[in-house]
Amino acid sequence: MAMPDSRQALITGANKGIGLAIARELAEKGLAVWIGARDPVRGGDAVRALVDEGLDAHLLEIDVADHGSVLRAAAELSTRIGALHVLVNNAGIILDAATAPSEVSIKAVKSTYEVNLFGPIRVTQAFLPLLKAAGDARIVNMGSGLGSLTLVTDPTSIYSSVNTLGYTSSKVALNAVTVAFAKELEPHGIKVNTVEPGNVRTDLNGNTGVLTPDEGAAIAVRMAMIGSDGPTGGFFASHGRQPW
């Protein structure tokens, strides 16, 4: 059981990579972190690793692509804590990294959207009562530079050299989801932003990135910890606001 007086954070897809790095950094800042993982074995391993470091970490089994799983996870967490102060929608997949847009199957696009787009929507909706109970919650959606139409069409940007249909469009749509939730939830003191971690070495890209997961996690942690004067409805990277 998490300490009842501690601030609580849930990070989806947190058993490895950027998600685990975000969880570790938030826990090091004194938050009780809930490792959202669809595989309880891998999630449990991640929790034990953090606990062994003296951090306040707990497992929450959740598959963001499964509506029933998300509802069960929200119900479970509501029996454990009274409020959720930080939600990081980090879980994500890419299925068309090496496939031309004209050859990507609709099935692959739908599967990508279930995790990258519908996942953050259903998780945010399901955990909203706990987020509202916090009074000043922060929601951070893990985006991508590929989610910026400005960057993917700018020939001087590294992101213009990547042309994925399902992944890119899911991240573009996620930015619109961020804006929609930010508008609705601002009166409740809840700030909602998208972050872009940079080109991080993770399983998602076959560990071909140039940044470490810790470096990629930094902007998500920063936006999770912003004060009441911080932004909402924005898109941010480590070097500042990103263009839509």
DSSP designation for 204: G
Is 3 within a domain? no
Is 12 within a domain? yes
CATH number at residue 133: 3.40.50.720
The DSSP-derived string for 149-183 is HHHHT-TTSGGGG---SHHHHHHHHHHHHHHHHHH
Is 229 within a domain? yes
Q: What is the domain extent for residue 60?
A: 8-241
Q: Quick one: tokens of 52?
A: 């062994």
Given CA atoms 17, 240, 145, 229 in this order, what sign does their dihedral have? positive
Give the number of domains in the chain.
Answer: 1
Residue-wise pLDDT for 20-78, tens only, equals 999 999 999 999 999 999 999 999 999 999 999 999 999 999 999 999 999 999 999 99
- What pTM, to 2 d.p., does this model score? 0.94
- Annotated catalytic sites, by residue? 167, 171
Residue-wise pLDDT for 216-232, tens only, equals 999 999 999 999 999 99
pLDDT at 209: 62
